[in-house]
Amino acid sequence: MAKALYLPEGYSSALTLRETQHAIKYIKDLFQQTLSFALTLDRVTAPLIVEKGSGINDDLNGVERKVEFTIKEIGNKEAEVVQSLAKWKRMALYRYGYRPGEGIYTDMNAIRRDDDTDNVHSIFVDQWDWEKVITREQRNEEFLKETVKSIVKAILYTKRKVSLRYPVLGTAMSDEVFFVTTQELEDRWPDKTPKEREDLICKEHGTVFIRQIGGKLASGKRHDGRAPDYDDWALNGDLFFWDEVLQRGLEISSMGIRVDEKSLASQLAELGAEDRMQYKFHQMIADGTLPLTIGGGIGQSRLCMLLLDKAHIGEVQASIWPQEMIDKCSAAGITLL
């Protein structure tokens, strides 16, 4: 276990295993309908696998190994399990003919074999991936903030409905979003790590959107890694809620206005990744073929654990865990599915 496992003292699940399963379905059904209405999104079908070398798979921080295999039916052609659908969604909006103000969402399942596991990280990733066509005039900070507020309203509405169905779940959530940049966090707490800064600001404000992730800060360091070819680092961010059970800020969504031809070129150059311009996806951004978009991912299991007052993501999703973690969780009253 490369990351620290947090075992809340005196923890016990507020819901039984069977109640938990019912509640997970209720949250997923309700939230995706609410999100779809709030952002004007259609549900679409998305791939679990893509061709290796297509340029469509997410490279995350550029070092994570993808799950690869060959396909017998296509001459042992190599394929990869997706790590996210950030690029595929933008291509889909183009192929399906979506216009500004319209968008899509889908269930995204991925395997990230190199992720460290802890209370909130699993090698199995499940989230609602969404993407929406915007105009060039909407590529600004104000539009980003308004979209974040719409997502928060959808989460809080779901929270209220869940609390009515399960009154034993009483954790409060702030409905006021506090916006802050990564540079402002570094200026305030220069001696803290990025994760420590996230926890400190979330404890103060409850619901926080941390902006501008990917580029270098004044210190020369990055707050966190972000691929250079989907989010515009000046117009993106992560949405956090204070998790009372875990006593930390819990990231629920990573999102942003996507790169245009200028930000794509500058971000690729900053990371020395100009070779990606060989791919069709990147060329279609550079020549203006792909639409301008905003999009992101919203963690399904993380949202469930937050709304159900769970201490471990393994209480709301079935995955594989180190035996040491299973044993420690069991001893602390945490039952992993």
Q: Which residues have a catalytic role annotated?
A: 58, 112, 127, 238, 251, 254
> Is the Cβ–Cβ distance between 124 and 109 less than 8 Å?
yes
**CA nearest neighbour of 170 among 113, 244, 250, 237:** 244
* R_g of the chain, CA atoms, integer Å: 20
CA distance 116 to 226: 17
CA angle 105, 134, 241 (to 5 degrees): 55
DSSP state of 247: T
End-to-end CA distance of the chain: 18
**E strands present in the chain:** 41-43, 49-51, 68-71, 77-81, 103-111, 124-133, 177-181, 207-211, 231-243, 248-258, 293-299
CA distance 89 to 239: 20
